[in-house]
Amino acid sequence: MESLHPREIELGLDRVRAVRDRLDLSSPPFTIVTVGGTNGKGSTVAMLTRIWHDAGYRIGAYTSPHLLTFHERIRIGDRLATDSDLCEAFGRVEQARGDIPLTYFEFGTLAALDLFRKQRIEIAVLEVGLGGRLDAVNVWEADVAIVTSVGTDHQDWLGTDREQIGYEKAGIFRPGQCAVCGDPHPPQSLLSHARDIGARLHCLNRDFEIDTADHAWSWHRGGKVLSGLPYPAMRGEYQLHNAACVLMALDCLADRWPVTMANIRVGLTQAVLPGRFQTLPGYPRQVLDVAHNVEAAEALAHTLVAQTLAGTTYAVCAMLRDKPMADVARCLAPHITHWHIAGLDLPRGASVEVLHAALEQAGVAAVTEHPDIESAYRAALSQAGPDDRVLVFGSFHTVGVILRVLPTP
């Protein structure tokens, strides 16, 4: 898959559309919900699919990237795709594509939809890989499209500001269909695009709202109120915005796929994803988070402050070189005592020297370089006392390395 196209990222729909049509997948026999946004996509997919699964529907979920194995990207109900599932789907895509070059993501996307059809799923929830308008999942018509948030990430591909990026993300909206936006301050480009194409746009704090209390929260849209809701199992105040989008999407499809309050409670309290402020048991406290852009770093900083801690925080960090490393460091520096850093041995990975220079640019002085992420992690653990915290962040790749070395429960 990785060698089928000379570039890791190649935005555009023509290649995927052509292979889709050869697979006779232009109009799949299931409802499609597409989830885009800068941050919060994976959490939104997890909550939405968990609620529908609890309601008894056959659900397919396609997400990216993975932390440990490719199987994580494609779920059928509550299980990961198996080796045989993937090999059969890959074989069908390979036969259909002929001489059409596909990127790794495009190939996997086509395989996921092919497998969903074979498994006779009823609802597919598709996570956008990058942007929206030109992303591979956008060759399918979404019955509901969600944009969780609009931040400044992937600027080399999507534009230099929120207005340009918002337009790209709004590209998953469809005329006459429900569109949901969870960004409290959506860019005008997103609002205008939804209006221009005739999408039925529902915005957080405009068309649906949330109210919070100490032990529960409520969601309301006009005269409809869902009260006494449990907080999501995944930590962070921003998860409420994601959960609110989930409830709006459920409301849009309630006539076809109704759910109960019991289903919603199960989904909110049982949907979890590794690497989203994942706190490991034991001492020192260990937190794993895939935050890799400014908006995610700001949310991570807020959640770190909210977590009670008697000691100090030691960071383990490695990042991709096309991420705003210095800006991310500025967000988190006030909450970190010492940084243990390493390079990422990937084509887009930042070397330890480049990351160190970015930290210095951000005013961070207490830094120790290490030859790899595992060495940085073990050094941080040895430095931290029982009242301290070790924070692993910066990339899916960084968190994935640590998850691999953790002992199996």
Q: Tell me: the pLDDT tens digits for 155-172?
A: 555 667 899 999 999 999
Task: Kindly state whether residue 302 falls inside one of the protein's structural domains.
Answer: yes
Identify the domain containing residue 348 by its residue range: 278-403
What is the CATH classification number for the domain harbouring 196? 3.40.1190.10
Last residue of a domain, one of 251, 270, 289: 270
Number of domains comprising the chain: 2
For residues 189 and 234, state if they share a domain: yes
Does residue 285 sit in the same domain as residue 259? no
168 and 144 assigned to the same domain: yes
**Full-model pTM:** 0.93
Same-domain status, 112 and 136: yes
Do 193 and 317 have their domain in common? no
| Residues 243 and 327 occupy one common structural domain | no
- Which of 233, 252, 270 delimits the end of a domain? 270
Distance CA 81, CA 142 (A): 23
Asked whether residue 1 is domain-assigned, the answer is no
Amino acid at 257: W
Q: What are the residue ranges in the chain where pLDDT is below 50?
A: 2-6
Return the pLDDT at 273: 94
- Phi/psi for 390 (5° steps) reads -110, 120
Q: Identify whether residues 218 and 293 lie together within a single domain.
A: no
Residues 266 and 282 in one domain: no
The reply to whether 266 and 302 lie within a common domain is: no
- Residue 8 maps to a domain: no
Quick one: the chain helix, strand, coil %, rounded to 5? 40, 20, 40
Does residue 298 lie in a domain region? yes
**377 CB burial (10 A radius; 0-12, 13-18, 19+):** buried
pLDDT of 5 = 43
* 313 & 258 share domain: no
Q: Of 321, 347, 11, 355, which Cα lies nearest the Cα of 159?
A: 11
